[in-house]
Amino acid sequence: MKAGRVLPAITVGAALWVVLVSAAGAALSWLGWWTPYAAWPVALVLAALSAWCVRGVPAVRGLGPAAAGVLVLVVAAFTVWVGATHSEQVLPRRDAASNFQAAVSLATTGQRVVSVDPESLGGSAVLDDRVTLGSPAFYAEGSSKEPAVQPQFVIGPAVLYSFGWWLGGGTAAMIVPALAMGLALLALGLLTARVVGAWWGVVAATLVAVVFPVVHTARATYSEPLAMLTVAGGLLALTLVAGVKRADAAVASGVLARIALVAGVLLGGTGFVRVDALREVVLVVPVLALGAALGSRWVRPLATGLGISLVAAALAAVVLSYRYLGDIADSLVPLVALAVLVCGVCGGLLALWRRGHRMPARVAAVLPNGVAAVTVLLGLYLASRPLWQVVRQDPNDPGARYVAGMQGREGLAIDGGRTYAEHTVTWLAWYVGPVALLVALVALAALLRRAVVRLGQGELPTWLPALVVAGGSTLLTLLRPGITPDHPWADRRLLIALPLVIVLDVVVAAWITSRARARGQATVGRVLAAVLVLAVAGPAAVATWPHRAGGVERGSLAAADEVCDSLGPDDVVLMVDSRSANEWAQVVRGMCGVPSLAAVSAVRRDPTALRALVDDVEAAVSASGGRLVLLAADSSEALDGLGVASVQVADVIVQEDQHVLERRPDGTDPLPIRVWLAPVGPPDP
């Protein structure tokens, strides 16, 4: 029993710490106070508060020392493996590197929106329409007299990964995701242990640990490892409190309310690390309505925690990431509309219930089988879409142009408007196999049927809240993944769907062994369950095996250090070609601590205009006592065209993720990182 109580307390407490520290970081960074001297004491205080909040968390019954020990070993092995083989995504080509650079910016400046002193660039006159402070994932803000840079995405990842930067630079920051995903894996194992059985929790955690999208995201500074921890921790806490019966004197009502409040804070507070966490929040609303209708004690505190943390996360996003919210308005606004609709419908149905209205007897009689049938039909619909549907978006969208380029490189028909959303079930099959999907669909239909029956009897199943949230999130993701279908990058969208499929298969394996044991055929049951587990483990291991040895872009940190070491404290760096403008502007500003700006694309394409810009910026920088340094990363051609002497300061070929559209990634592609510098100001004394 001790392990069954301590492990949930550790997991839920860690998840709560993530949310609370993200909230504190949002407030302090808005004030410009996110420094080690403020952040570390705040983090310690919030760790103590988190530990206090999870006191008395209901235990995972039946989790003995042996099963608990093996589960911890699985989680530890996973964490060490992915941490030791972490990626080094430094150049902001993808979200992981964007989060990393945002963390570096926050850790080194103390501010979320970083003010730039125009005098450090040679004066405000330099900041005309020929240059920009912005780059991918970093927006240029303000005027030429008061310029600033605002990172993309919400603030949570930058706050959490900044601790790693302070502890040990880039390498330490890149290990933090492995720790977060390891704790998320522990939460998933504990949740499965609670609703299926202790050793089945170990099996579920082990299977999820070898699924490549989980491994891939845990190796890099994505937001998903943090979100997985808060969502899994929240669902674990909710499942534990939902399993407490009114007659259970071992859990006081005050403790129950406190843990339910924590569960709500975790689910709503996921918005601090991922803005689309609103999807999971919406899916909690029907659970709240069902709980309220049946008089569950945890409904009010859960709703309170959910509402408070969601409002706080939304406020932080609006204040600190408003440009990002504007960019994703096309997907965010429908999600908000869905939230309003779900709240309205659930509120209306709950009001009717409380007035004594009930479902007609004939409808109630056929509802369980109807729900099961609809579930199966919906699964078949999603799986069959490639046979009759091609999902497209606006072909002029930047993402569509990127897809068209990939299609050309892969020898596919050019149709950039394709989103490939009709293939989402196929994406799942890449990593767990078709047998696992079929078994999971049958299990989902059976569980929903059972849930409807038990709800009709006035009982809310302990496992239903987690199933509704995970199942609903999976459905919405499969219908509309909302991401450029560049694999394995796009497979981050499957981080709730894949664990759900695995847990459903584990449920079936547990049912098989239980039924066989009841019939005196325990050995047969174990064999059949093992076959099912292997049907999941086999495809998962095959998909992950080519990527077992390490993450991507290893060597990028060293390349960035080489560039930084080549720059002086009085330098101002101007990016003169496309790749330098896209990949190095923020690296130089953040990691090197050197003022940087980039020529806009129209100027970069015009040698005469670029020459005039260089002359003007050089004159302004020299007049202010600095030295202008030009940086090129495509080749030295732009510098040669300017007639300046350049020196190559970085030259390494790293391995990046494959870029594939219609198949499972099974390797990596070479990515050259080359940088040339050309000082055009007076030489250093």
For 534, other C-beta atoms within 10 Å of its C-beta total 12
Scanning the structure block, which residue is given the tokens 């706050």? 159
C-alpha 103/C-alpha 113 separation (Å) is 12
The verdict on residue 445 lying in a domain is yes
Scanning the structure block, which residue is given the tokens 């995903």? 181
State whether 41 and 58 are in the same domain.
yes
Are the C-beta atoms of residues 491 and 481 closer than 8 Å to each other? Answer: no
State whether 535 and 602 are in the same domain.
no
Q: Which of 528, 547, 566 is the last residue of a domain?
A: 547
Residue stretches of the chain with pLDDT short of 50: 685
Q: Which of 492, 518, 547 is the last residue of a domain?
A: 547
**Residues linked to residue 432 through DSSP beta bridges, in sequence order:** none
The verdict on residue 601 lying in a domain is yes
- Residue-wise pLDDT tens digits, 512-536: 999 999 999 999 999 999 999 999 9
State whether 399 and 251 are in the same domain.
yes
The verdict on residue 392 lying in a domain is yes
How confident is the model at residue 685, as a pLDDT?
Answer: 46
C-alpha 510/C-alpha 62 separation (Å) is 15
State whether 506 and 560 are in the same domain.
no
- Residue-wise pLDDT tens digits, 22-34: 999 999 999 999 9
State whether 360 and 483 are in the same domain.
yes
The verdict on residue 69 lying in a domain is yes
State whether 331 and 194 are in the same domain.
yes
State whether 615 and 522 are in the same domain.
no
State whether 257 and 190 are in the same domain.
yes
Burial 247-263 (b: 16+ CB within 10 A, else e): eeeebeeebbbbbbbbb
Question: Full-prediction pTM beyond 0.75?
Answer: yes
- Residue-wise pLDDT tens digits, 251-303: 677 889 999 999 999 999 999 999 989 999 999 999 999 999 999 999 999 99
SS (H, E, C) 458-485: CCCCCCHHHHHHHHHHHHHHHHCCCCCC
Q: Which of 547, 564, 582 is the last residue of a domain?
A: 547
How confident is the model at residue 394, as a pLDDT?
Answer: 84
State whether 537 and 560 are in the same domain.
no
How confident is the model at residue 250, as a pLDDT?
Answer: 58
Q: Which distant-in-sequence residues (6+ apart) come within 8 Å of 287 by Cβ?
A: 238, 464, 465, 468, 469
443 closest CA partner among 496, 519, 372 = 372
State whether 619 and 646 are in the same domain.
yes
3-state DSSP assignment of residue 571: strand
The total number of structural domains in the chain stands at 2
Domain span including residue 652: 555-679
Are the C-beta atoms of residues 496 and 477 closer than 8 Å to each other? Answer: yes
How confident is the model at residue 17, as a pLDDT?
Answer: 98
